[in-house]
């Protein structure tokens, strides 16, 4: 009988001790690493001469953020690449309501041409790009997919809290 009580107490106490240890000594940190920084990155076809680690050129970055006072993050929405514009508009409204785009953070709509597609390294079905202040691409998303926009919102939260 004593063995059963011992193992029962052990089975109840060990998870509590692990929880307490993690609560006081553990640290949860999330990060959103920049894309296209290593050779394992899959680059889009048709864009030649891209060197890794990749950062958007200064001239292109200034063109992309034209008209916005942005020093932290830029979210670009390429209207011409959106698959379902109505669904995209709904998701963009959600995004704008969640984040008051003002100084430091910007949402910009842009039309897409071939050179811009290679500058942003857009994959098929991707029409939104998150670019940081160091001109690195932090994420690429499909605006008509609710899960993708949720991921964008989560990654924006993480980056804004961390940096």
The CA distance from 136 to 120, in Å, is 10
pLDDT at 38: 86
The CATH H-level superfamily of 34-162 is: Glutaredoxin (3.40.30.10)
- Model's pTM, two decimal places? 0.77
Least confident of 15-19, 50-54, 63-67, 150-154: 63-67
Residues of the chain with pLDDT > 70, as a percent, come to 96
> Where are the domains positioned within the chain?
34-162
Question: Is residue 16's pLDDT more than 90?
Answer: yes
DSSP one-letter string for 7-73:
HHHHHHHHHHHHHHHHHHH-------PPSS-STTS-PPTT--S--SSP---HHHHHHHTTT---SSE
pLDDT at 163: 61
């Amino acid at each position: 009988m004593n063995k059963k009580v011992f193992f029962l107490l052990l089975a109840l106490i060990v998870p509590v001790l692990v929880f307490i240890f993690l609560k006081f000594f553990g640290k949860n940190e999330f990060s959103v690493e920049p894309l296209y920084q290593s050779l394992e990155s899959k680059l889009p076809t048709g864009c030649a001469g891209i060197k890794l680690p990749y950062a958007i050129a200064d001239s292109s970055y200034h063109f992309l953020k034209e008209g916005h006072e942005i020093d932290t993050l830029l979210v670009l929405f390429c209207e011409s690449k959106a698959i379902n514009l109505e669904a995209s508009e709904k998701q963009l409204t959600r995004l704008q309501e969640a984040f008051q785009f003002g100084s430091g953070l910007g949402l910009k709509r842009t039309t897409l041409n071939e050179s811009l597609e290679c500058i942003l390294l857009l994959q098929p079905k991707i029409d939104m790009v998150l670019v940081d202040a160091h001109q690195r691409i932090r994420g690429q998303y499909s605006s008509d997919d609710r899960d993708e926009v949720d991921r964008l919102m989560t990654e924006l939260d993480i980056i804004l809290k961390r940096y």
